[in-house]
Structure 1
Amino acid sequence: MRINLSSNTDILAVTPTLFGFVPTNSIVAILLDNIGDRRTVHVSARYDIVEPLDVAAQLANTLPLQQPNGDMRLVILIAITDPEHDKHAGDHLDAAQRHITARGASILKRLHTPAVDAGNTWTDVDTGDTGTTVDYRTSEVGLLMAVEHGRIVRATRDDIAAEFTPTEQAPAPDVDTESAEFSTQIVRDMATAFEDPTTLTPQLAANAGLLITANTTHRDALLIASTEHPQSGATVWTHLARQLRGRARIEALALAAACFYCSDDAVRAAIALEAARHTAADAGLPDTTLVTLLDTAVQAAVPPAKLRQVFAQLAAKPPTE
């Protein structure tokens, strides 16, 4: 999807859509690929304004500032802060610029606004230019994301995290994972659910939860199948993860993260992985290989298309049993 960012007002209007929630009291970095006369959003990142200044260095070290061809990406820095944080915001913008340029990247612009909803004054801190923010919900990109991708911007990041909160636990699995017939039927039923999430039942959730924890081969088969329908796959695995507990919940959250990332929703992917790690810590379990793989991909801003290629390569692996 092409996004028109012809002004500072457009940049601020797109910010909630990039994250899926309305950032407040935050330092935001938007990385742009710089290829010919085209500049497209590669990835975005944020941290809370109350963080110490050394977080700016961590941001610069984490951002994928170099393009595959060796050229450096352009960076837009934004401070979205209440007036009482203005001085601290300026310090963060200066520190972030210093660390990012030290790594060879260029800062395209630095903006400040107290909030990104309509009617606030934005300032270009380097030129002194000012303007007024617009309603992000009726902006071009906000409407495109809502209509074409069904994405609604949440009020806060916590509202997104609540989407992964456990609900009523699924019943016990009703068959034995050692049965080939059981495994085949569950894979088929889940494939149907990825095409039509309304077919997912609590009993299917329970059976699938048992399968993905007991059999890595079948888990990977479901990973491949669900990332072929990433938006509905994300819906299914999120719904399933909320009904599962322990290791099954961890695996389902990881699969949800994979689907979210493949559908270009890096924020929900990261939050799903956070929930998986918290579940593991609460249960005294180590992170799974899939959680670690996906976390590395998210932190490195690996292009979703590349991750889909990795999953496709899994399909070529012979069964291990």
Structure 2
Amino acid sequence: MHFLRDFPLNSFNTFGVAALARQFAVVSSEQDLMRWCSAAGQATPPFLLGGGSNLLLTHDIEAPVLQLALLGKRVIFDEGNTVLVEAMAGERWHAFVQWTLAQGLSGLENLSLIPGFVGAAPVQNIGAYGVEMAATCDSVMAIDTATGEPREFRRADCQFSYRDSVFKRPPAGQHAADEDHRDRFAITRVRFRLSRRFVAHVDYGEVKAELQAIGVTAPTAMDVARAVVAIRSRKLPDPAVQGNAGSFFKNPVVPAAQAAALGERYPALPQYPADATGEQVKLAAGWLIEQAGWKGRGITTDSPAAVSERHALVLVNRGGATGAQLWGLAQAIQFDVADKFGVLLQPEPRIV
């Protein structure tokens, strides 16, 4: 591993904000990573970087930045309708999904066109249109950055929940917001249990409407993927054109009683069951933000940090925005939504 000094990270985060890595290296093999992590114990834990699509940098990174760019994908076993596939952490997520579809496999089609690398998918437990990655995850291979030892996490070990996992949390005893200790496990490969027997997940309104619009009544996995790609392409700005990290806020989950009270005041507020008991309800963060008056605007009319005109959940860099400006906008939105609705929005991206 060759480290570069004061390396610019502008093109390594999809917001396109300026920040420097005091030390930066690309990791292309598990052996190199294990050797580096085990060498005399690392006094400073590394900062792990994938595709930078779920990241907001507000300052330079003093810790060694390691971009996990390991490549490769393969079928582990193919037995009946069940197929176990493995992808290395540096594979681009959407390309990997397309590859699985080309093999005649289903399970990931609803997660098409999500930016970023495969290795980041378990960290965030990415999800879209009624499906989460956790549903197909078999296991995750990672390296303990404190010791250099490999470790396998079975699906239950990953402790998946809504946009969360064990990989997103600091080790026991560390503060939840302690950035210096968050990157304990460097994910190197992920295995997925997919199927040759397609079961459609098209109850999500937009997906169902898109399929109807193109005249598909008996969709295949590829049809669902095409519908999702069409929806996302329409709704979300392309990070290559306008810097963004996709949905910036999680959909808040609140007690059913609070949701009912909000529903009485705001009958148009979209609500969805968040658990099987009905005690928790998920609200549409985008609707709350739009109703608070933020869609298509920034803190000032000429601010380079703004909310997308296409989707109220997306914060965009209009050009030249700093991470601090984008974070300041996010905090202003949090304040206004909490003031109007009594609901605190939580960011999806990692805020540094």
Q: TM-score range by the shorter chain?
A: under 0.3
Taking structure 1 as the reference length, the TM-score comes to 0.28
Taking structure 2 as the reference length, the TM-score comes to 0.26
Structure with more helix by fraction: 1
Q: Which has the higher contact order (CA 8 A, sep 6+)?
A: 2
